[in-house]
Amino acid sequence: MTKKVLIINASPRKKGNIAQMVAEMTSEADARGAEVEVIEVQRLHVKPCVACMQCRAKGFCALPEDDAQRVLQLIKDCEAMVIAAPCYWGNIPGTLKLLFDRIVYGMMDESPRNFPLPLHKGKRCVLVSTSTTPWPLNILMHQSRGAIRAMKEICRYSGFKVVATIEKGGTRHNTTLAEREKNRCRKAVRKLLK
């Protein structure tokens, strides 16, 4: 059966490392017969969550419909997902955080005693991040690793199983992907489609 893969690209840079990794992953997924949809977070119109908490009880967002609901539908429809985000302040970009803040209700539910109930169990996910901080400090100082940690939090509570993570530090001086980095991207997609 054709797998639907959703790739969420949270980098606004069209030729940056994230964009190159996304291109590599898209072509591998295409080549393996998957149905791929790429979302550019930069182009979305998403109002910030107002924390009214109505969605927790009602199961839908009280704000007027915008791209947050559209992306949530794509997440519901996909079988596998890639989230690719550069490290900003040791974390994910605000635009991506804003998006996931708005769709909590479609990612996890809560038991009557307020325990999280993941809504996407059985789906696979690959996480990608970049930072100017070079290796190994990008990991040790929680730079790209900080962004990965934040994305893992979303995956854990929504039930997505993280099958691979890719981090690249030192991007100021390494602006294009090395062959082994392209291979890592392709290998991660193969794990995603298993």
Applying CB under 6 A, the residues found at the interface with ligand FMN are 11, 13, 16-18, 86-90, 130-133, 143, 171
Closest distance to ligand FMN from the beta carbon of 17 (Å): 4
By beta-carbon proximity to ligand FMN, the closer residue of 28 and 167 is 167
* Residue 51 Cα distances to 48, 70, 104, 143, 174, angstroms: 9, 19, 11, 28, 40
Closest distance to ligand FMN from the beta carbon of 27 (Å): 17
Closest distance to ligand FMN from the beta carbon of 40 (Å): 12
Q: How far apart are CA 135 and CA 152, in angstroms?
A: 20
Amino acid at 25: M
Closest distance to ligand FMN from the beta carbon of 160 (Å): 22
- Give the DSSP H/E element, type plus range, for residue 80: strand 80-86
By beta-carbon proximity to ligand FMN, the closer residue of 16 and 159 is 16
By beta-carbon proximity to ligand FMN, the closer residue of 4 and 186 is 186
Q: How far apart are CA 69 and CA 73, in angstroms?
A: 6
SS3 130: strand
SS3 101: helix
Closest distance to ligand FMN from the beta carbon of 31 (Å): 23
By beta-carbon proximity to ligand FMN, the closer residue of 131 and 158 is 131
By beta-carbon proximity to ligand FMN, the closer residue of 9 and 158 is 9
User: For ligand FMN, which residue has the nearest CB?
Assistant: 16
Q: Is 89 left (phi over 0), alpha (psi -120 to 50) or beta?
A: left
Closest distance to ligand FMN from the beta carbon of 142 (Å): 9
By beta-carbon proximity to ligand FMN, the closer residue of 120 and 168 is 168
Burial of 166 (0-12, 13-18, 19+ CB in 10 A): buried
- Give the DSSP H/E element, type plus range, for residue 163: strand 161-168
